[in-house]
Amino acid sequence: MIEKDMAVNPYQSVLKSLSLIPEEYLVQVNAYLEKLQDRISHKEKNRQEILSLAGTWSDLSDSDFADFLDKAKESGNEVFERKVDL
Protein backbone atom coordinates (compact mmCIF):
# COMPACT_ATOMS: atom_id res chain seq x y z
CA MET A 1 0.00 0.00 0.00
CA ILE A 2 2.87 2.38 0.73
CA GLU A 3 4.24 1.87 -2.80
CA LYS A 4 0.91 2.98 -4.29
CA ASP A 5 0.87 6.06 -2.04
CA MET A 6 4.45 6.88 -2.99
CA ALA A 7 3.53 7.02 -6.68
CA VAL A 8 0.82 9.52 -5.84
CA ASN A 9 2.71 11.80 -3.44
CA PRO A 10 6.14 10.80 -2.08
CA TYR A 11 6.09 13.49 0.61
CA GLN A 12 2.79 12.30 2.05
CA SER A 13 3.91 8.69 1.78
CA VAL A 14 7.08 9.41 3.78
CA LEU A 15 5.09 11.26 6.43
CA LYS A 16 2.66 8.36 6.66
CA SER A 17 5.53 5.89 7.01
CA LEU A 18 7.14 8.03 9.71
CA SER A 19 3.90 8.10 11.65
CA LEU A 20 3.98 4.30 11.79
CA ILE A 21 7.50 4.12 13.25
CA PRO A 22 7.68 3.72 17.03
CA GLU A 23 9.05 6.80 18.76
CA GLU A 24 12.10 5.02 20.14
CA TYR A 25 13.32 4.40 16.57
CA LEU A 26 12.87 7.97 15.38
CA VAL A 27 16.32 8.95 16.69
CA GLN A 28 17.86 6.40 14.30
CA VAL A 29 15.63 7.57 11.46
CA ASN A 30 16.65 11.15 12.11
CA ALA A 31 20.36 10.21 12.15
CA TYR A 32 19.92 8.46 8.80
CA LEU A 33 18.13 11.47 7.32
CA GLU A 34 20.94 13.76 8.50
CA LYS A 35 23.54 11.52 6.83
CA LEU A 36 21.48 11.49 3.65
CA GLN A 37 21.25 15.29 3.69
CA ASP A 38 25.03 15.53 4.16
CA ARG A 39 25.59 13.31 1.13
CA ILE A 40 23.19 15.36 -0.95
CA SER A 41 24.91 18.60 0.12
CA HIS A 42 28.34 17.14 -0.64
CA LYS A 43 27.25 16.04 -4.12
CA GLU A 44 25.78 19.45 -4.84
CA LYS A 45 29.01 21.13 -3.70
CA ASN A 46 31.04 18.86 -6.01
CA ARG A 47 28.66 19.59 -8.86
CA GLN A 48 29.05 23.33 -8.35
CA GLU A 49 32.86 23.02 -8.22
CA ILE A 50 32.90 21.03 -11.46
CA LEU A 51 30.55 23.49 -13.16
CA SER A 52 32.81 26.35 -12.10
CA LEU A 53 35.44 24.88 -14.45
CA ALA A 54 33.11 25.13 -17.44
CA GLY A 55 34.57 27.39 -20.06
CA THR A 56 38.02 27.40 -18.48
CA TRP A 57 39.64 26.76 -21.84
CA SER A 58 37.35 29.03 -23.84
CA ASP A 59 39.98 31.77 -24.04
CA LEU A 60 42.63 29.44 -25.48
CA SER A 61 43.33 29.62 -29.18
CA ASP A 62 42.62 26.48 -31.19
CA SER A 63 46.33 25.76 -31.58
CA ASP A 64 46.99 26.21 -27.84
CA PHE A 65 44.09 23.92 -27.01
CA ALA A 66 45.36 21.33 -29.51
CA ASP A 67 48.81 21.53 -27.86
CA PHE A 68 47.21 21.08 -24.46
CA LEU A 69 45.31 17.99 -25.65
CA ASP A 70 48.46 16.52 -27.17
CA LYS A 71 50.40 16.98 -23.91
CA ALA A 72 47.53 15.54 -21.86
CA LYS A 73 47.34 12.45 -24.09
CA GLU A 74 51.11 12.07 -24.04
CA SER A 75 51.34 12.23 -20.25
CA GLY A 76 48.37 9.87 -19.91
CA ASN A 77 50.03 7.34 -22.20
CA GLU A 78 53.28 7.56 -20.24
CA VAL A 79 51.49 6.52 -17.09
CA PHE A 80 50.35 3.28 -18.69
CA GLU A 81 53.64 2.55 -20.47
CA ARG A 82 55.68 2.44 -17.25
CA LYS A 83 57.15 -0.86 -16.22
CA VAL A 84 56.34 -1.75 -12.67
CA ASP A 85 58.42 -4.28 -10.79
CA LEU A 86 56.35 -6.38 -8.44
Interval 37-81: pLDDT, tens: 999 888 888 888 888 888 777 788 889 888 988 998 888 777 777
Residue 8 lies in a domain: yes
Residue 56: its pLDDT value, please?
Answer: 77
Residue 86 lies in a domain: no
Residue 16: its pLDDT value, please?
Answer: 93
**Residue 33 pLDDT class (50, 70, 90 cuts):** very high
Q: Is the pTM of this model over 0.95?
A: no
Give the three-state DSSP class for 58: coil
Domain membership of residue 42 as a residue range: 2-81
Residue 43 lies in a domain: yes
Query: Dihedral angle at the C-alpha atoms of 57, 58, 62, 68, nearest 10 degrees?
Result: 0
Residue 13 lies in a domain: yes
